[in-house]
Amino acid sequence: MIKKVAEVIKNSSYCIAFSGAGISVESGVPPFRGETGIWNRYNPQLLDLSYFYNQPGKSWEAIREIFYDFFSVAKPNGAHLALAKLEQDGILKAVVTQNIDNLHYDAGSKEVYEFHGNSQKLKCLDCNTYYDAKEVNLKVIPPKCDKCGGLLKPDFIFFGEGIPPEAYQKSFDAAQKADVVIVIGSTGEVMPACQVPVVAKQSGATIIEINPDDSNFTHQITDYHVKMKAAEAMEAIVKEIYN
């Protein structure tokens, strides 16, 4: 299977990757679903946009624990690094990611479409000033804007919030152009992100899925299911490609 998918990727003309939380599990970032999933410990309502507006303090308590205590120490793993190498060598054209952990950029990927935004920036909801999350004192929550006193919100998408238009457009454009999509570590449960691989499939792409478990994609659109963890699978595939 590794040999076969390596050949498919090597012979592709427009290969993209679509990543979910599973690609970052080996970097120590917990997924959202499954037995170690964040949503087993926190109510997803805490990340509902209307809840954030009504209870910014409570919402920020959970946001800080989930996203800022964890992510600041996470490093890219072999899967992120393998995708960055494939891009450097002109094989991979883009990564569409649902993740907000910045690990694709940290690994050196350049063409990354962040479908759900990024946790590294906070934005003032009144004057739109952006802050680097590392420079904001999150001991005082909810954090407020130094300029206007407005409420700061992480620059990632909450439930009920629109997808960043540029990332949306670029992701679906890439999906339509792709002849191969490497889907890594996603349950395929969240709309509209999970439509990206589906649109690619409908446009004739071959779908390679890397996931130790089955997902919503597996029996619908997946052509090759590599039932392995992301880092070991991608490292084996890249080794095969450069063999």
Cα separations in angstroms, 94 against 15, 91, 154: 8, 9, 24
> CA-CA-CA-CA torsion for 47, 124, 115, 170, nearest 10 degrees?
160
Q: Of 66, 147, 57, 140, which Cα lies nearest the Cα of 100?
A: 66
Q: Does 108 bind ligand APR (CB under 6 A)?
A: no
Quick check: 25 binds ligand APR (CB under 6 A)?
yes
Interface residue with ligand APR among 1, 2, 14, 37 (CB under 6 A) is 37
Distance CA 239, CA 227 (A): 18
The answer on whether 124 is annotated among ligand-binding residues is yes
Active-site residues, by number, are 116
**Which range binds ligand APR by CB under 6 A, 5-13, 24-32, 104-112, 195-203?**
24-32
Q: Does 98 bind ligand APR (CB under 6 A)?
A: yes
Contact status, residue 96 vs residue 114, Cβ threshold 8 Å: no
Size of the site for ligand APR (CB under 6 A): 24
Say if CB 105 and CB 24 are below 8 A apart.
no
- By the rule CB under 6 A, 230 interacts with ligand APR: yes
Question: Cα(100)–Cα(44) distance, rounded to whole angstroms?
Answer: 16
* 33 binds ligand APR per the rule CB under 6 A: yes
Helix (H, G, I), strand (E, B) or coil at 41: coil
Among 31, 76, 78, 143, binds ligand APR (CB under 6 A): 31
The whole-angstrom separation of Cα 109 and Cα 196 is: 19
Question: Could you say whether residue 60 binds ligand APR (CB under 6 A)?
Answer: no
* Alpha-carbon separation of residue 199 from 22, 41, 81, 205, 215 (angstroms): 21, 33, 26, 9, 17
Cβ proximity to ligand APR, 48 vs 126, nearer residue: 48
> Taking the complex as a whole, how short is the minimal distance between the CB of residue 206 and ligand APR, in angstroms?
19
Told to check if 21 binds ligand APR by CB under 6 A, we report: yes
Q: How far is the CB of 163 from ligand APR (least distance, A)?
A: 11
Query: Residues interacting with ligand APR, by CB under 6 A?
Result: 20-22, 25-26, 31-34, 37, 98, 116, 185-187, 189-190, 210-213, 215, 229-230
Task: Give binding residues for Zn(2+) as ranges.
Answer: 124, 127, 145, 148
